[in-house]
């Protein structure tokens, strides 16, 4: 009688060597050496994701990089390749140097907290992990091939482990051997040996202070957070979710490159805070001894977070429909003030927070009728903009914005429907100085009207600039984009050619838009440019993208896009009593920065708006092109603008005389 056991053994062996070793990988987000953000589950449309463990100075990794490049070329877009560095001794700067020295053309994910490497059970550089995106399981971990070992290497590999594993995944088959020994440099993970210590982390003395500093301002009764941190039991119940949003960096909603300028009132978790919270949760969220300080968290009761306002202005009620695209609203409210005031702070409170996408507020000295002129009225004397996460703005010390008596207070309201009809009444609180401040605070926007985002493009970059015609001091920055915006930054391009980075937001989130106040104001000399750059994801992998098949241009609606970099500043030599502001230069600088695509400081005909280009090509502006370079410099365009304004003034004067004579 023939035994059936050999067949069973073969079957079990096959299962054991294949998916029996499959390990699910939870989603995570890390920054690479250039502080570009990478999320694992973003690559759901690839067949597999390959992570190769690296560390600076490892000869095995350096020798294997050409092999990995060849494999990447072999599999093309079907497989996503990245390196991951969890080594304690390697920091962003040294990793960038390693990348430069050895021509590494893979993103190096920097696991500075080691939280991801701990869970992935990384131990040696040179190991590769193959993650099947159908179920996010690790289906292979081990060496790339058998070509490189300790102090040995061959010209050609005999065994191609990584290629074999990827072929199996793409063909929907089991990987024959899912785990192999890896040759590489050992990585130190000291927290792996501290599990008992993690269980002793104090909820009362360690965890709660972090939560109160970083989270409770929103997660409290009547706060904007979806649940309130009011007890240990609430934290324990939500602890798996807290761990997830920390690993994916969704919370706190503050992703700023901390290697650049310090930001006032930064809301993000430090590396140590992330480690402490996650290790405490992974230890079972132990309650420990001591009282529960979260029981004392009070509801958010005060209507105005900055205290009692000097003036409250209420906008008209607006009915927000349940569905559909809503045109911008431009209500104008009579200014009730009978005296000039200097504003020192503003707070905006929407009545229907789910429907209000943003609010802009400004003033005008005269009444402006509803029509085309009303569209820009809010910018005549701009005070502030509201978006979720940016509800109030206290102006920098010694600065203010002058609001004169009479005229109008203007709002620009952007509503979005959310499935239920509702009514919004937005309120604005103004806070005044007792006397005139030293400096007049000003606002401007680096804007790019000419942006064009191709369909399906995952990382499309647009940039624009504003050039200062005199020395200035920059206080705060406000980047804005819509659903496709994923990354944004501000840099100063100095007259000598040097570039000084100011702000980098590696993961821009449309749902949370912040005003980033610089901890130390930045002085810039005349002829400096503030350059604003944003990256857009118009691919189907972007879960927020309304339509990946559309070529996207500038537009007010959220389904369109914007390159919009607001900033508050003052002129260095100006004061509230001695203005040095040149409004025409101010407007021309914004106009040029928006359209000068090659950043050469002049507008060539292909950069001009249609009307200006037609007039230029028709020879109507020939006399203003004084250097005959077939382009317009800012000074040449100013001469043309002054001429045009003069002609308009003459026509208006003539019309008034004609009307008088006719009467």
Mean pLDDT of the chain: 92
pLDDT at 305: 87
CATH entry 2.60.120.230 includes domain 443-581+593-601: yes
Confidence at 389, pLDDT banded by 50, 70, 90? low
Q: What is the pLDDT of residues 74-121, one digit of tens each?
A: 999 999 999 999 999 999 999 999 999 999 999 999 999 999 999 999
DSSP track, 477-522? EEEE--TTEEEEEEEEE-TTS-EEEEEEESS-BTTB---EEEEEEE
pLDDT score, position 236:
98
Query: What integer is the mean pLDDT of 280-296?
Result: 96
> Any idea which of 1-10, 329-338, 654-663 has the lowest mean pLDDT?
1-10
Q: How far is CA 484 from the centre of its chain?
A: 11
Q: Which helix (H) or strand (E) holds 577?
A: none
Which run of H or E residues covers position 139? Answer: strand 137-142
Residue range 5-191 forms a domain whose CATH class is alpha beta
Domains 5-191 and 443-581+593-601 share a fold: no
3-state secondary structure 73-138: HHHHHHEEEEEEECCCCCCHHHHHHHHHHCCCCCCEEECCCCHHHHHHCCCECCCEEEEECCCCEE
Closest to 429 measured CA to CA, from 402, 412, 409, 407: 409
Q: What is the pLDDT of residue 515?
A: 86
Helix H or strand E segment including 402: strand 399-403
* Whether pLDDT at 604 is above 80: yes
What local confidence, expressed as pLDDT, does residue 648 receive?
A: 74
Residue 22: per-residue pLDDT: 62
Task: Measure the CA–CA gap between 491 and 481, rounded to whole angstroms.
Answer: 17
DSSP class of residue 473? E
pLDDT on residue 3? 46
Fold of 311-437: Jelly Rolls (2.60.120)
Residue 20 pLDDT > 60, yes or no? no
Angle at 489 between CA 485 and CA 491, to 5 degrees: 155
Answer yes or no: pTM beyond 0.85: yes
* Residue 539, both tokens: 């691919």
pLDDT of 14 reads 37
pLDDT tens-place string over residues 136-182: 999 999 999 999 988 888 889 999 999 999 999 999 999 999 999 99
Using CB atoms within 10 A of its CB, is residue 534 exposed (0-12), middle (13-18) or buried (19+)?
buried
Residue 158, CA distances (Å) to 112, 126, 145, 163, 183 in order: 36, 18, 8, 12, 16
Distance, in Å, from the CA atom of 442 to the CA atom of 511, rounded to the nearest integer, reads: 26
Residue with tokens 């005031």: 341
User: pLDDT (tens digit, 9 = 90+) per residue, 345-382?
Assistant: 999 999 988 888 889 999 999 988 877 667 778 888 99
Going by their DSSP bridges, the two strands 552-553 and 499-505 should be labelled as unpaired
Name the residue ranges covered by the structural domains of the chain. Answer: 5-191, 195-296, 311-437, 443-581+593-601, 610-662
Identify the CA nearest to 273 among candidates 196, 204, 200, 213.
Answer: 213
CA 604 to chain centre: 32
Cα separation, 54 vs 67, in Å, equals: 14
Distance CA 586, CA 627 (A): 23
Residue position matching structure tokens 């912040």? 514
Please report which helix (H) or strand (E) contains residue 569, including its range: strand 564-571
DSSP 206: I
Give the pLDDT of residue 507: 95
pLDDT in tens, 434-485: 999 999 999 999 999 999 999 999 999 999 999 999 999 999 999 999 999 9
| SS percent in the chain: helix, strand, coil, step 5 | 25, 30, 45
Tell me the backbone φ, ψ of residue 632, rounded to 5 degrees.
-120, 125
371 HSE (CA, 13 A, CB side):
4
Phi and psi at residue 237, in whole multiples of 5°? -65, -35
For 301, which DSSP code?
-
For residues 66 and 74, the answer to whether their CB atoms sit within 8 Å is no
CA dihedral 283, 284, 286, 287 (to 10 degrees): 160
pLDDT tens profile 269-278: 999 999 999 9
Q: Percent of the chain, pLDDT > 90?
A: 79
């Amino acid at each position: 009688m023939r035994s059936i056991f050999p067949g069973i053994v073969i079957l079990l062996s096959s299962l054991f060597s294949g998916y029996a070793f499959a390990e699910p990988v939870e989603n995570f987000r890390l920054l690479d050496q250039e502080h570009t953000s990478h999320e694992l589950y973003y690559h759901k449309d690839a067949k597999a994701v390959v992570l190769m463990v690296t560390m600076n100075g490892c000869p095995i990794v350096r020798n294997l990089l050409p092999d990995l490049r060849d494999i990447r070329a072999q599999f093309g877009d079907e497989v996503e390749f990245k390196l991951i560095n969890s080594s304690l001794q390697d920091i962003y700067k040294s990793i960038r140097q390693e990348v430069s020295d050895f021509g590494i053309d893979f993103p190096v994910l920097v696991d500075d907290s080691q939280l991801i490497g701990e869970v992935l059970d990384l131990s040696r550089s040179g190991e590769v992990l193959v993650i099947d995106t159908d179920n996010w399981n690790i289906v292979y971990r081990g060496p790339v091939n058998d070509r490189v070992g300790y102090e040995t290497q061959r010209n050609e590999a005999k065994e191609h482990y990584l290629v074999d594993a990827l072929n199996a995944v793409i063909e929907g088959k089991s990987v024959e051997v899912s785990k192999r020994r890896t040759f590489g440099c050992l990585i130190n993970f000291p927290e792996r040996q501290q599990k008992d210590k993690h269980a002793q982390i104090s909820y009362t003395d360690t965890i709660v202070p972090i939560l109160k500093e970083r989270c409770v301002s929103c997660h409290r009764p009547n706060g904007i957070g979806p649940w309130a941190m009011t007890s240990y039991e609430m934290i324990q119940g939500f602890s798996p979710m807290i761990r997830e949003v920390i690993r994916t960096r969704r919370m706190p909603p503050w992703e700023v490159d901390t290697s650049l300028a310090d930001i006032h009132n930064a809301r993000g978790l430090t590396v140590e805070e992330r480690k402490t919270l996650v290790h405490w949760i992974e230890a079972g969220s132990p309650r420990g001894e001591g009282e529960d300080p979260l029981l004392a968290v009070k509801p958010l009761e005060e209507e105005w977070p900055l205290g009692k306002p000097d003036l409250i202005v209420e906008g008209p009620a607006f009915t927000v429909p349940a569905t559909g695209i809503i045109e911008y609203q431009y209500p104008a409210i009579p200014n009730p003030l009978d005296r000039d005031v200097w504003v020192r702070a503003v707070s905006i409170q929407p009545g229907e927070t789910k429907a209000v996408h943003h609010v802009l507020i400004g003033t005008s000295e005269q009444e402006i009728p509803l029509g085309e002129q009303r569209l820009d009225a809010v910018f005549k004397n701009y005070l502030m903009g509201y978006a979720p996460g940016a509800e109030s703005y206290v102006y920098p010390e010694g600065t203010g914005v002058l609001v004169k008596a009479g005229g109008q207070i203007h709002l620009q309201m952007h509503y979005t429907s959310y499935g239920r009809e509702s009514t919004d009444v937005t309120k604005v609180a103004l806070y005044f100085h007792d006397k005139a401040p030293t400096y007049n605070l000003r606002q401007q926007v680096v804007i790019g009207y000419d942006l064009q985002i191709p369909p399906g493009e995952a990382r499309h970059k647009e940039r624009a600039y504003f050039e200062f015609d005199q020395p200035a001091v920059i206080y705060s920055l406000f980047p804005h984009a819509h659903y496709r915006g994923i990354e944004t930054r501000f840099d100063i391009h100095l007259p000598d050619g040097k570039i000084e980075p100011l702000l980098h937001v590696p993961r821009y989130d449309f749902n949370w838009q912040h005003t980033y106040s610089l901890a130390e104001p930045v002085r810039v000399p005349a002829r400096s440019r503030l350059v604003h750059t944003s990256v857009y994801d118009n691919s189907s992998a972007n879960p927020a993208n309304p339509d990946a098949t559309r070529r996207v241009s500038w537009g007010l609606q959220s389904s369109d896009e914007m390159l919009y970099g607001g900033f508050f500043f003052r002129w260095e030599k100006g004061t509230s009593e001695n203005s040095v502001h040149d409004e025409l230069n101010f407007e021309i600088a914004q106009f040029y920065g928006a359209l000068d695509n090659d950043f050469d400081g002049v507008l060539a005909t292909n950069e001009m708006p249609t009307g200006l280009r037609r007039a230029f090509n028709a020879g109507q502006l020939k006399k203003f092109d004084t250097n005959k370079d077939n382009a317009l410099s800012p000074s040449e365009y100013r001469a043309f603008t002054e001429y045009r304004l003069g002609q308009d003034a003459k026509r208006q004067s003539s019309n008034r005389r004609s009307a008088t004579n006719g009467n």
